[in-house]
Each structure stands twice: as C-alpha cells, then as structure tokens.
C-alpha cells in the first residue's frame, strides 16, 4: 500500500463517488439508484449519505426518501467558481449556437477522464434530444464532447487512456478500441467529432474541443439533435459553425481576444 493510501483515503473516494453520482442526475435519486451508479453496496451508501446529511452536503426528501445535493455543496461550488468556472464567458456562445442552428447546444468541461456538461441551451427546432443535461458525466470518448477532447490529446495520452479504459464493456461495440481509434482519426481530420446515435439511437451530436492557455483540450462545445437534422451536408455546415465558435471561445478563455 502506498504511504498516502489507507482506509481513510478509501472512505474519501467513496464519498466523492456518491457526490459525483448525485451531481450527474437531473433529479433526486434514491439510495439504491445512487448505489448502482457508483457501484457500492446499498448499506454503505446509506451510511455515507446519512453522514453527509448531518454536514449539510446532501438533503433527503422525507416523503419520497430521495436524496439531493445540499446547501453546503452550493457554498463550496460558489467559493471555487471564480477559479474554475468558465460558464459565464461560454454562455453567450452556447446561446448563439442554439439560436443560429435551431439545435440544442452545450458546453462541457473535462474533469480527469470524464466530461461534465455545464450549460445547455435549446434551439427553436421542436424535436430535441434529451441525452445531455447540465451535470451529466460521460467518459472521454463517449458522446461528441468527450470524443472531441480525447481526439485532441497527445498520442501517448490517447494510448494510455485506451489501454486503461474498457468502454466497450459499458457502452457497446461501437466504443471498442478499434472503433474509437477510427473515430479519433476522423475527428482529427475534420476538426470536429460526430456521434452518430451511439448513446441513444436516433440522437446525433457534433463536438468541438475548446483549448486552454497550454493548448490542451479542457472544454468542448457540442450540438445535438435528431438524426434527420444531421445529414452529411448539414453536418459539414454545422461543423464549420461549431469550429468557428470553439476557436473564438478558446481565445476568449485564454484572454487572447474579446467579442
């Protein structure tokens, strides 16, 4: 065991897993749902939730028994926002994408080996995809935002990620290593990623990476909609718009220009 590892660090990892499972849900979750989401025994999750509730980190609805994030998480997020939150500068870009394309537009951030959706703005087209919502998490390589970020990592980082993550087991054959490598090559060729209904059938998406000051893909913009709105010719059109906005936002977030 590493010197910094032990029962205490294992407990912290479990608490973080519970909080992440709650943050990725669009509605309050039961104890059993949270346990399944973070692959922990239900009694363990119940003990952790009870302890977190005493600290104000989670709340429980006494009627339904469902759990939600508590007021202390809001205060912690508010304190961290000035350093990490890029949403305010991205909000106008996301709104412009939704209004200009009619599709649902999103802004996601990379957190380790996942993407987390931070912003959603729906366009005018009445048929919408409901795959993404604010707070949902996906592994890199899953959904268009995660694929766009993964494709723009260095080759050695892509190799290491694919060596240590078996996405096929959880997400199906379309996320096998060979399939992902083809999708990565296509993303690098075109600049933007395409998700042809791999998460939910009939729900297509395009994603473009947004880069930080070190040139690393730290965020992504994406568009989602029904398959009939993402035919080849329109994908090219949407891809150009998405890349233009991603380039602009990269410059804004790194302080190189303003608009």
pLDDT confidence tier of residue 21, bands split at 50, 70 and 90: confident
- Of 30, 60, 77, the domain-final residue: 77
Average pLDDT over residues 99-108: 96
pLDDT at residue 142, rounded to an integer: 95
Domain shared by 166 and 246, yes or no: yes
pLDDT of residue 20: 82
pLDDT at position 256 is 63
Tens-digit pLDDT profile for residues 32-86:
999 998 889 999 999 999 999 999 999 998 889 999 888 888 777 766 655 556 8
| Residue 258 domain-assigned (yes or no) | no
Q: Are residues 185 and 96 in the same domain?
A: yes
Q: Does the residue 209 lie in any domain?
A: yes
Token readout for 215 is 């040139």
Please check whether residues 118 and 192 belong to one and the same domain.
yes
What is the CATH number for 73?
1.10.10.10
Residues 241 and 199 occupy one common structural domain? yes
Residue 1 pLDDT: 37
Can you tell me the distance from the alpha carbon of 112 to that of 73, in angstroms, rounded to the nearest whole number? Answer: 20
User: Is 218 within a domain?
Assistant: yes
Q: Find the mean pLDDT for residues 153-158.
A: 96
Which pTM was predicted? Answer: 0.71
Examine the domain organization and report whether 28 and 95 are in the same domain: no
Indicate the residue among 77, 111, 132 that finishes a domain.
Answer: 77
Which pLDDT band holds residue 129 (cuts at 50, 70, 90)? low
Residue 93 and residue 168 in one domain = yes
Residue 29 pLDDT > 50, yes or no? Answer: yes
Q: Strand 137-139's sheet: what is its strand order?
A: 137-139, 114-121, 104-111, 217-226, 203-211, 193-196
Q: How confident is the model at residue 103 (pLDDT cuts 50, 70, 90)?
A: very high
> Which of 77, 96, 115 finishes a domain?
77
The domain tally of the chain equals: 2
Pairing state of beta strands 67-69 and 203-211? unpaired
CA angle 258, 149, 253 (to 5 degrees): 15
Residue 144 included in any domain: yes
Range of the domain at 192: 85-253
The answer to whether residue 196 sits within a structural domain is yes
We report the CATH number of the domain holding residue 106 as: 3.30.450.40
33 and 147 in a single domain? The answer is: no
pLDDT (average), residues 119-148: 87
What rounded mean pLDDT belongs to the chain? 88
């Amino acid at each position: 065991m590493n010197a910094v590892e032990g029962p205490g660090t294992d407990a912290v990892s479990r608490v973080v897993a519970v909080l992440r499972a709650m943050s990725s849900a669009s509605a309050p979750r039961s104890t059993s749902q949270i346990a399944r989401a973070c692959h922990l025994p239900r009694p363990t999750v119940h003990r952790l939730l009870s302890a977190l509730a005493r600290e104000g980190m989670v709340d429980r609805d006494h009627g339904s028994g469902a759990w939600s994030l508590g007021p202390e998480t809001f205060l912690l997020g508010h304190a961290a926002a000035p350093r990490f939150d890029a949403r305010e500068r991205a909000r106008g870009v996301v709104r412009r994408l939704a209004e200009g394309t009619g599709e649902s537009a999103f802004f996601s951030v990379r957190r380790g080996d996942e993407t987390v959706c931070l912003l959603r703005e729906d366009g005018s087209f009445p048929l919408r995809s409901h795959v993404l919502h604010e707070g949902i998490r996906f592994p890199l390589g899953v959904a268009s935002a995660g694929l766009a970020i993964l494709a723009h990592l260095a080759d050695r980082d892509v190799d290491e990620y694919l060596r240590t993550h078996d996405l096929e087991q959880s997400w199906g054959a379309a996320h096998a290593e060979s399939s992902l490598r083809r999708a990565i090559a296509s993303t690098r060729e075109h600049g933007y990623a395409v998700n042809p209904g791999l998460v939910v059938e009939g729900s297509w998406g395009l994603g473009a990476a947004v880069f930080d000051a070190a040139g690393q893909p730290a965020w992504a913009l994406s568009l989602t909609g029904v398959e009939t709105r993402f035919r080849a010719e329109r994908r090219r059109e949407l891809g150009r718009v998405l890349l233009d906005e991603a380039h602009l936002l990269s410059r804004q977030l790194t302080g190189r220009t303003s608009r």
